[in-house]
Structure 1
Amino acid sequence: MPLSAEVRWFWPALPGTDLIDWFHRSDLWDQPPGGGIRKMHHYLRDASQSDLGIKTRGDSTVEVKGLVIPDWHTLDVSPFRGPVELWHKWHSEALTLTPHPTVAVQKQRWLRLFTVEQAALREIALDENESPYEAMPSAGCTVELTQLWVDGHTAGWTLGLEAFGDRHVLAAHLNAVAAYLGTRCPPRWSEATRNHYPGWLKQQVEP
């Protein structure tokens, strides 16, 4: 999914048990969340900018994710209101992060995957590796809740919505999933900062 529309919030500490419980409550959802395994990501250490994330996941190829449009769309569903960013992702087997300095970011992510087919929204079951139990849709939207560590130290939590697919369906899918989440009695949150991973990571490595 190289092109995505995203909105994300960060908490420097625990976001509150209400949000965590809401994400996992079996009576609110059609499927349990996937994921939950801690995974290590190594990001290029770069405190000079916040629009580009360059990383590897374990022994994977280098991923480059860049901000295309910062205020591409507006989400107007409480409590998920805010400007939506358009991002693009590339993979490269030729690039390497060696010998440049990196930041070790460990993530424990729980993920929900939704698809919109013929105007009908449906949640797809995921396993602990975040792989779907059926064919991956070409377009849809994920909702994630993730605990973060930076260089071995607790660094907070993040909640994100990310629509993927052809550009002309991104806004509609993001709106549909946000509207659905709004019917699941989401808790209101405070002390959250709207940001993206490169911007958050810049704050982590700034002197």
Structure 2
Amino acid sequence: MGLTSELRWFYPGAPPEAIAHWFKTQCPQQGPVNPETRDDLYLFTPDCDYLNIKWRQDRLEIKWRQSEWGEVQFGDCLSGNLETWQKCVCEELTAAMPEDAEAKGTWVRVRKRRSQRFYQVQDTTIEPMGGDRQGSIGCSLELTQLAIGHQPWWSLALEAYGPPDTLIHTLKATATVLSASYPREFPLTPAASFAYPHWLQQVLQGNGEGCRGRND
């Protein structure tokens, strides 16, 4: 089990070219990133945005929201809803996902193409780390292309990990540095900032256009 503090944003369509270019070449980095492509199955839990259950690569992952910290803002183009989640991974399951799970509409397949960068906080600056998640304290930046059926979306997220008393500082320090170079023509707003369970409700209940959420 582990705690993470997170900021996430979801928007319909493909990532704007300016954001893709920023992630690839302009944000602090250490070498190129190899995107990861996979399908995850999410348990659809209408009107329950504090519980996130997914089947990923033959294991069950459960996340439970622990805290909501409200809106935070960094610079003039990056603001969102900060949350802390706890995750538990079940890796010793012997039964596979039932073949009819998707057909019954309980589980939803989300196709993903995710790129990640990792940072270590040094006082008020951040140090890029190469490869996969490294160290016991840090923050990831991820740019993900998503699809449910024929509906394309994209997401940008910050996820801080480490000892509980370091999470908020690590995330805020990382976001502060990244906001300085983030493309201002595509501001990230609280109306599009929430976790996967709320996003699934937006898409599957027909309210996904513009991803207008709880802060409208």
Q: Do Structure 1 and Structure 2 share a fold, with TM-score over 0.5?
A: yes
Is the Cα–Cα contact under 8 Å of residues 149 and 156 in structure 1 kept in the other structure?
Answer: yes
- 2:87: which partner in 1? 89
State the SS of the aligned residue for 2:186.
coil
Aligned CA distance change for structure 1 residues 174 and 103 (closer, same or farther; 3 Å): same
Alignment of 1:35-184 (within 5 A): 35-59=34-58, 61-71=59-69, 74-92=72-90, 93=92, 98=98, 101-117=106-122, 121-126=126-131, 131=132, 136-151=134-149, 153-184=150-181
Bigger shift: residues 154-163 or 39-48: 39-48
Distance (Å, rounded) in 2 between the aligned partners of 1:6 and 1:52: 14
- 1:189: which partner in 2? 186
Q: Give the deviation of 1:116 after TM superposition.
A: 2.0
- 2:205: which partner in 1? 206
Identity score, percent: 29
State the SS of the aligned residue for 1:34.
coil
1:19 aligns with 2:19: yes
| Deviating 4+ runs (over 4 angstroms) | 94-100, 117-120
TM-score (norm 2): 0.79
Distance (Å, rounded) in 1 between the aligned partners of 2:205 and 2:196: 14
Distance (Å, rounded) in 2 between the aligned partners of 1:30 and 1:194: 24
Q: Give the deviation of 1:148 after TM superposition.
A: 0.2
Distance (Å, rounded) in 2 between the aligned partners of 1:123 and 1:201: 31
Aligned CA distance change for structure 1 residues 11 and 185 (closer, same or farther; 3 Å): closer
Is the Cα–Cα contact under 8 Å of residues 33 and 112 in structure 1 kept in the other structure?
Answer: no
Give deviations 1:18-75, integer Å, cap 9, x for gaps. Answer: 11111111x553323534131111111222422111111122x210011111226734
5+ residue gaps, structure 2, are: 207-216
Distance (Å, rounded) in 2 between the aligned partners of 1:46 and 1:111: 27
* Equivalent position amino acid for 1:114 in 2: Y
5+ residue gaps, structure 1, are: none
Distance (Å, rounded) in 1 between the aligned partners of 2:94 and 2:49: 20
* Equivalent position amino acid for 1:170 in 2: L
* Equivalent position amino acid for 1:79 in 2: C
Aligned CA distance change for structure 1 residues 185 and 119 (closer, same or farther; 3 Å): closer
Bigger shift: residues 50-59 or 32-41: 32-41
Aligned CA distance change for structure 1 residues 8 and 47 (closer, same or farther; 3 Å): same
Aligned CA distance change for structure 1 residues 122 and 172 (closer, same or farther; 3 Å): same
State the SS of the aligned residue for 1:81.
strand
Aligned-CA RMSD value: 2.6
